[in-house]
Amino acid sequence: MEEERQLAIGVDLGGTNIKGGVVNQNGQILRRLSIQTQAQEGPERILDQIANLVQVLNQGEEVNGLGVGCPGLVELGIVRDPPNLIGWKEVNVKKELEKRLSLQLEVANDVNAAALGELHFGAGKGVKDLICITLGTGVGGGLILDGKLFTGSKGGAGEIGHLPVNIFGPRCRCGNYGCLERYVGAKYIIERAQTKLRDNPQSILPPLNKDGIITPKLIAEAAQRGDDLAKEVFQETGEIIGAALSGAVNLLNPKLIIVGGGVAQAGELIFGPMRRTLAERAINREIQKVRVVPTLLGEDAGLIGAASLILKP
Amino acid sequence: MEEERQLAIGVDLGGTNIKGGVVNQNGQILRRLSIQTQAQEGPERILDQIANLVQVLNQGEEVNGLGVGCPGLVELGIVRDPPNLIGWKEVNVKKELEKRLSLQLEVANDVNAAALGELHFGAGKGVKDLICITLGTGVGGGLILDGKLFTGSKGGAGEIGHLPVNIFGPRCRCGNYGCLERYVGAKYIIERAQTKLRDNPQSILPPLNKDGIITPKLIAEAAQRGDDLAKEVFQETGEIIGAALSGAVNLLNPKLIIVGGGVAQAGELIFGPMRRTLAERAINREIQKVRVVPTLLGEDAGLIGAASLILKP
């Protein structure tokens, strides 16, 4: 392996930070760097930021190329409508970065890149059909089907946060009604806790919460200390995710579901009810065999996966 | 083309009938035969029925092989848990038919076979990513992804009838709650009409319905004659299908949805609200571009698609 040492730079463009790293053929990050995204300044500025970051990371070794994970729809290097980035209706990220850098270049959606990272170096190694889902402010997803990233006809596949939980339910920010994200996005988990607090003044959540801000992390902490209200919040959240995922597994019959994102750090509190509900609701014994596991690469999945676009492990 | 004339026999095994036909490389059925399924008699009898049907169809031309579409999960020629067939927990249909016939043999799920039929010879020609959905007593589906039939890790993919409409909704026959089939399966469309009839005695549906049996076909007839109640039934049905499909298109970003089955014969009555709701609810402008069209091969899609397993067009 030493003889055929391969390196690639992976970049994970987020609305808050741009993270970059030099990744080897084993998926290890040798060196990393993170800068704040100047999201308000428009695409030109951000492309310059990425190019600078890459130049700082690229310190003379033989780097085989650059893989970039971006929010939004990605098709043939063109990024469309990324949420959280201003003025990015449609930007040819591949072409623009090729102007700035002389490196082989590949671009993918950020959650799709994370799915690739898990496939090649993480919890999905050797699995042909898997779904990645990230639970955070938003609920994102990536699909590996028949051993390959599946992006659909226009690079838009994987929007698992916008599967219906209840088509008659409340409006989601995407314009649709009753999407999964509208029930289990971080904001709605907090809302769920706040609603329950009205009838449960004995919960330890308010004393834990010194600065008046409830977060999913704080709710998880209260649940781990045995707080019934907090446990209920995660149970309900896990059940809703499991029920919505039953639709995805009935449709795709994957072998594995990999769950990441901040909310997933609640661990068994959320994985337990999620697994149980999924097993109860999936349509038949073969489809019920799907395993549900936490991410192995965590927050690095996107960066490592972006590099894997070049490493092609 | 004449020089390389290819023929295959396709068989579509259903709970009521076994249909077979000799199909040429253009997807045309040259000769066909249909017999009643002896569904009560168990797998051995049905395998004999299929073998007999094929021997009658195979009249000395150079037939390249036999493709069979079966209900249930299909993996490597093994059929598991087909609904409507008695005693079929697990049957190796490929092996059993190879014992009875000396023909090259392929087996697929029946709705998956129909999706292949539409892909190669029907409404899906030249489309890489498409979803087939059949609306009838049950609601079935098949997926063509990246130009190929996608069957998932255990042959179970495509269960679009068991996407959630409302995870808090009524129990479905599959054991899950609030599945699409539970809202728009033929039986539930009829229930919807019956419920509305209580408050709408002026509807022309009862006079149309001479023998006391309401069917989706009769409701469509009343709607075409301008009956408000009947129009409402199809509008609601189309809207629910469109809303549930928004989840599938958000997940898979297909270019095309092909809709077949008896209920789809209501035409614009159901396609109109389905298309409108899907366009309103799909998450972004690329995903909204999905087209929704009726089947081109109709009830022959399964038979022709089964033959295409051999013809490999």
CB nearest B164 (choices: A141, A175, A246): A246
Tell me: the pLDDT tens digits for B56-79? 999 877 899 999 999 999 999 999
The upper half-sphere exposure of residue B143, i.e. CA atoms within 13 Å in the direction of its Cβ, equals 28
Give the count of Cβ contacts less than 8 A between chain A and B: 176
Q: What is the pLDDT of residues A113-148, one digit of tens each?
A: 999 999 999 999 999 999 999 999 899 999 999 999
Residue in A with minimal Cα distance to B174: A283
- The pLDDT of residue B262 is 92
The pairs formed by B1-8 with CB atoms below 8 angstroms and a separation of 24 or more are: B1/B25, B5/B62, B6/B64, B6/B311, B7/B61, B7/B62, B7/B63, B7/B64, B8/B63, B8/B64, B8/B65, B8/B66, B8/B67, B8/B307, B8/B308, B8/B309, B8/B310, B8/B311
Query: How much is the pLDDT for A174?
Result: 92
Rounded average pLDDT over B111-115: 96
- Residue A184 sits at the chain B interface (C-beta within 8 Å): no
Q: In which band, very low, low, confident or very high, does the pLDDT at A312 lie, cut at 50, 70 and 90?
A: confident
- pLDDT for the residue numbered A267: 94
Question: Residue range B37-51: average pLDDT?
Answer: 95
pLDDT tens for A219-244 read 999 999 999 999 999 999 999 999 99
Residues ≥6 apart with Cβ < 8 Å to A52: none
Interchain CB contact of B284 with A (< 8 Å): yes
- Comparing B36-40, B105-109, B178-182, the range with the smallest average pLDDT is B36-40
In chain B, residues with a C-beta closer than 8 Å to the C-beta of A155 are 253, 286
Q: What is the pTM of this model?
A: 0.94
Q: How confident is the model at residue A1, as a pLDDT?
A: 45
Q: Are strands B73-75 and B78-80 parallel, antiparallel or unpaired?
A: antiparallel
Contact map slice: A 215-254 vs B, CB within 8 A: 240, 243-244, 246-248, 250-254
Task: Check whether B229 has a pLDDT greater than 60.
Answer: yes
d(CA B146, CA B69) in angstroms, rounded, equals 21
Residue B1 has pLDDT above 50, yes or no: no
Please calculate the CA angle B222-B223-B227 and round it to the nearest 5 degrees.
Answer: 75
Which pLDDT score, from 0 to 100, does residue B212 have?
A: 74
**Residue appearing with tokens 């896990």:** A238
Per the CB < 8 A criterion, the answer to whether A28 and A1 are in contact is no
Q: Which residues have C-beta within 8 Å of that of residue A102, sequence separation ≥ 6?
A: none
For A42-91, write each residue's pLDDT tens digit.
999 999 999 999 999 998 778 999 999 999 999 999 999 888 788 889 99
Nearest CA in chain A to B160: A251
Average pLDDT, chain A: 94
Residue B165 has what pLDDT?
A: 98
Is the pLDDT assigned to residue B221 strictly greater than 60?
Answer: yes
Q: Do B243 and A164 touch (CB under 8 A)?
A: yes
Say what percent of chain B tops pLDDT 90: 86
When pLDDT is averaged across residues B214-224 and rounded to a whole number, the result is: 93
Q: Looking at CA atoms only, how far is residue A234 from chain B in angstroms?
A: 17
The closest of A273, A183, A262, A260 to A232, measured between CA atoms, is: A273
What is d(CA B231, CA B222) in angstroms, rounded to the nearest whole number?
8
- pLDDT tens digits for B239-294? 999 999 999 999 999 999 999 999 999 999 999 999 999 999 999 888 999 999 99
| Cα B229 from Cα B203, distance rounded (Å) | 6
CB-based burial, B89-113: b 16+ in 10 Å, e otherwise: eebbbbebbeeebebebbbbbbbbb
- The answer to whether the complex's ipTM is over 0.85 is yes
Question: Which helix (DSSP H) or strand (DSSP E) does residue B312 occupy?
Answer: none
Residues of chain B neighbouring A237 (CB-CB closer than 8 A) = none
State CA B252 to chain mean position distance: 19
Say which of A146, A163, A251 has its CB closest to residue B159: A251
